[in-house]
């Protein structure tokens, strides 16, 4: 088997695997699927929206009075996690002291 034939076979197999994986991939433009993907409940999700963890124009946009989520940003959000801002005054002072 020639090198080109081997590469073509590998490419074909990769494309087949991708199409099979796409069957299980959630539609991350829909709120219900985003909630499921993030493995949180609706109340927690609403909290993320209300406190600015999920940002309009970054994680979602409004189209015809409906939120449409941006899959790439939702994936980044899940990978990166979210760390809420530190509001404890003593902790803020210590961070400021160390220039953080």
| Position 32 in a domain | yes
| Position 5 in a domain | no
| Position 19 in a domain | no
| Position 78 in a domain | yes
| Position 83 in a domain | yes
pTM, to two decimals: 0.66
Domain count, the chain: 1
Nearest to 54 by CA among 31, 87, 33, 36: 31
Question: Which residue has 């959000």 as its token pair?
Answer: 77
| Position 40 in a domain | yes
Q: In this model, does residue 29 exceed pLDDT 70?
A: yes
| Position 38 in a domain | yes
| Position 8 in a domain | no
Average pLDDT of every residue of the chain: 90
pLDDT attached to residue 86: 62
Q: Are 62 and 56 in contact (CB under 8 A)?
A: yes
Could you list the residue range(s) of the whole structural domain that residue 66 is in?
27-97
């Amino acid at each position: 088997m020639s090198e080109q034939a081997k590469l073509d076979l590998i490419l074909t197999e990769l494309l087949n695997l991708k199409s099979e994986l796409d069957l299980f991939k959630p539609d991350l433009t829909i709120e219900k699927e985003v909630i499921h993907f993030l493995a949180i409940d609706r109340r927690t999700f609403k909290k993320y929206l209300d406190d600015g963890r999920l940002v309009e124009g970054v994680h979602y946009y409004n189209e015809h009075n409906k939120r449409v989520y941006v899959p790439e940003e939702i994936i980044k959000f899940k990978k990166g996690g979210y760390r809420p801002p530190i509001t404890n005054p003593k902790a803020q002072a210590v961070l400021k002291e160390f220039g953080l």
